Amino acid sequence: MQLAGPVAGLNVIDLACGEGHFTRLLKQRGVSSILGVDVSEGMINLALAEEQRCPLDIEYRVEDVCNLDAEGEYDLAFAGWLLNYAKDAQQLSRITQSVARSLKPGGKFVTTNTNPDDPISNFQMWKSHGFTKHTSIKESSITGQAGSDIPEGTPVVWRLTLPQGKQIDITNYHLSKQTVTNTLLKSGFREVNWHRPRVSPIAIQTDGYDHWKPFVDSPPFIFLECHK
């Protein structure tokens, strides 16, 4: 949200909005209009149910981000997890071209992504934080320790443990930082910046800095801020 900057008065699209968590947060921060899109009808139904329960004047639509029917419409495109669902550079390019096309000149795209540089040796270190990451690639089979040595398109599964002990798996695909950056630049973005996580004062107050320090030192996820 900090990378999105001041959003009051902006026309915003929340891509892969899920059940609308960030869509609602952005609306509550004073955006002029916001459209939430997600390819999953189930997710959009949850978002619509919440909109009915507590109306915020948010529009939601079931749509694949690759097929956005928008040209130069938005000041800000926001996505909490999106690019990491592309299985290869071609699929990624269909997403990033569509996002770039939907933005006004000078518009901004902000997103969260799996950190491509996260080494496999770190994948198990998040158990006490409620998740682990998994891949079928053996660390010994790759040349170095860095995540960037994982072959392009390799599935990376996030296994989340919910408070009741139930586990859910979410499959992402590994694409290197270089592939992601080059694809964004080729799609019409003039500037691509990667940002490591920062710990908010509220999080420090609630859990203490030591709880969050591993996310800063060796981030399992990372943020992108791109300018058209």
Residues contributing to the site for ligand SAM (CB under 6 A): 16-18, 21-22, 37-40, 43, 64-66, 80-81, 85, 170
Nearer to ligand SAM, 91 or 182 (CB): 91
Angle at alpha carbon of residue 67, lines to 80 and 184, rounded to 5°: 55
d(CA 189, CA 187): 6
- What are the φ and ψ backbone dihedral angles of 66, each rounded to 5 degrees? -65, -20
d(CA 155, CA 171): 6
Tokens of 4: 């999105």
Nearer to ligand SAM, 1 or 190 (CB): 1
Nearer to ligand SAM, 43 or 150 (CB): 43
Containing 109, the helix (H) or strand (E) segment is strand 103-114
Q: In what order do the strands lie in the sheet with 131-134?
A: 131-134, 155-161, 167-173
Q: What is the dihedral of CA 172, 211, 127, 217, to 10 degrees?
A: 50
Tokens of 139: 């660390």
d(CA 47, CA 67): 20
d(CA 5, CA 120): 33
Give min distance, CB of 45 to ligand SAM, in A.
Answer: 11
Give min distance, CB of 169 to ligand SAM, in A.
Answer: 12
Give min distance, CB of 144 to ligand SAM, in A.
Answer: 29
Give min distance, CB of 138 to ligand SAM, in A.
Answer: 27
Nearer to ligand SAM, 140 or 154 (CB): 154
Nearer to ligand SAM, 19 or 213 (CB): 19
Nearer to ligand SAM, 38 or 50 (CB): 38
Give min distance, CB of 223 to ligand SAM, in A.
Answer: 12
Give min distance, CB of 46 to ligand SAM, in A.
Answer: 9
The Cα-based distances of 51 to 13, 26, 47, 115, 181 in angstroms read 16, 14, 6, 32, 35
